[in-house]
Structure 1
Amino acid sequence: MRGLFRDLAVRVALWTLALVILGAACALWLLTQVGAATRARENGIPVWLVVVAALVTGLIIATAGLARARTLADRAAEAVADPLRRLAQRTDEMTTGGFALDPDARPGRLVQLDPWQGGIAEVDAVAREIDRHHHTLARTLVSERSFAADASHQLRTPLAALLLRLEEISELAADDAEVRAEAEVAIAQVERLTGVVDELLRRTRVGHASGGALSSVEAVVAGLDEEWSPAYEERGREFTVSCERGIIVEASSSALSQILNSLVENALSHGAGTVRLEVARSGPSAVFTVSDEGRGVPDHLAQSIFDRAVTTGGGTGLGLSVARETAEGVGGRIELTQLRPPVFALYLPLARTP
């Protein structure tokens, strides 16, 4: 950039020198004409005409000089601004992941960027640092996606074997109602876990969203009630559900179940009293609220309760964070709408009806 401004300074100096020489020549001519007019007033050029000619000439020279100076300044500014604009675009692409992954790869392949040169040494140095950090971040992202995809794929086989084994146990224990009931609960939990694994595998793919999946809220909430009510009864607490009929949301059943399970489990672990799950329509969204009668969320954690490793008790601080990420992955959101007693609200888009 220093060289660019040096070049601009040299050009301006040369143009200034040329204008000075031209002005001096015009002044010399003016003095010659004035002298000649004074010596031969009758036959010479009138003095006023010489003065007017000098003024017009000076005005033309000044206008030309200003126009040229403006042109040089515009060129220099554009020579600096264009690489900066391209650098800003490249930075924005890096921060948003615009070129981090190959969209045709599954679960993701690192894209090597071509070296970028803006023509200005200082800007090129910044671009090299951005590309270096982008490469590091992209490698990390690809590694995480690959690990999630591999882990999900490897878990599906043992989960399928476990499910078959539990079904065999359920059939063999047909005469023992208690064992059969426990086996059916275990089967439901394994099926839910299988759905979570499948959902995790879908999330590793580029462009993940709901993928057009729809789910009946009543069915998911009914399964949730059946699964969690025994756990609440064991602790002497109550779990109630209330769901408006006929709600269909744009999210897979496994994703919805995973989110709600995180909220209900959070209320069981950190809340107190009765836990209420209520579902109703609100405009274009279905609103799920989970509330309890506990002490609630401290004021200093209100803004960070969904961050990783943030917890009000002895938990891992991952449940609410994963729930929020899952909700955002299917086009929804989770909010803490009330601190004391705590109320968490999940908003998911309703299915579009033809």
Structure 2
Amino acid sequence: MTVKGAARVRTRIVSLSVAIAAIAVALFGVPLGLGLARYAVADEGVALQRLADLTAAAVLTDLAHDRIPAVLPVAEPPGTSLALFDADGLLAVGDGAPTADRDVMAVLAGGGPRVAERGGDLVAIVPVMGEHEIVGAVRAAHPVSAVYTALVPLWLGMLGLAALVLAAAWVIARRQARRLAQPLEDLAVLAGRLGEGDFSVRPARAGLAEVDALGGAFTTTAARLDDLLARERAFSAEASHQLRTPLAALRLRLENARADARAHPGADVGTALDAAVAETERLTRTVEELLRLARARGGDRRGPVDLPAVLDEVAETYRPRLAAEGRSLELDLDGSGEPDGVPAVVGSRTAVEQVLAVLLDNAVRHGEGAVRVGLREVGDAVAVDVGDEGPGFANGKPERGRPPGPGAPPDGLGTGTGIGLPLATRLAGDQGGRVVVSRESPPVMTLFLPLDDRDGG
């Protein structure tokens, strides 16, 4: 997230917060101001009616004796006008028109007191009651504008309070925007570092559930990418190691075919070429499957595996090389004691094939004499024993591993076994099995694989 983008996010948060606060203030303040104005007008009307009542009581005695009062009481507040009309609707004393308007005439006709707005004034009219009849009417008036003018300080106070509320909302919104945007900005920076290949990035907790959930997903993604990259890096080393022997076998087949063609012109080399093509196809499949295993997680693509078929296929790769060295490869596929053959194991065929290839390659490269591969059933697992007639682990060769001892890793496979045995150990563990040193001299290494639960019961 760029600085401009971060500023835009913060501005939006602040603007939205202030807008919401302004709407809330308006929804609360405008009705309150209008209600205050209506209340002030109604209160002024009550005050005018009270003044008119007091004035009517003051002039009642004079009107009852057919006298016209000389003056009316002083009207309060300033700006209020008083007028006394006789029973005929003529102005007797005070401020007003010489003749009564329709409101005054309605009161003189017995309509009762009334308060109304007329011509910008708030008017209150009350009758002056004699013993048996209405003898006059008192009219009190005050400008409505004066009522509103008196409200201006209150309205200004409300506007000032609203401004304070909006200012407080702006300050709080800026702080919250910074608190909300900063973790996202940090995540943007970490995402840039992640894109540059730094998979050690870990976002700090922000104290916000949603942002922390995003940070957790970011951490998980970084860890998965780191693991994937490590698998890809390991693949380049493991694949090169695993492809040496098949490539050597392929080269040997082609060299033999070329030698036969040179020694016997016109000889049929089709069988050798077909075998070379088949070996090339197997190499292609091996590369694809190794890459898939490097990217997969433990337990993926597992199913029943036909061990004899896998052993036959792997053995065909190593027999030419052993034969070229005057050595043999013996397969004992009947050691399980099962009348129907070796029970099926569960795992990935490619992974099992690669483990067996590592064990056979170890025996071919560092062993002596015949290489023997046998199968036997052990409890709920099948054991594949790979041995040769060499001195074994007692000679201290690092490529063959070291026997268990104080501080040694489990299963007797040390860290100095090169690329092959660590690969075999990891792949076997992914399939729920393990690789162990069964005998040190002559050496025998054993692959244990779990039986398929669906096999035979």
TM-score of the aligned structures, taking structure 1 as reference length: 0.49
Q: Which of structures 1 and 2 has the bigger CA Rg?
A: 2
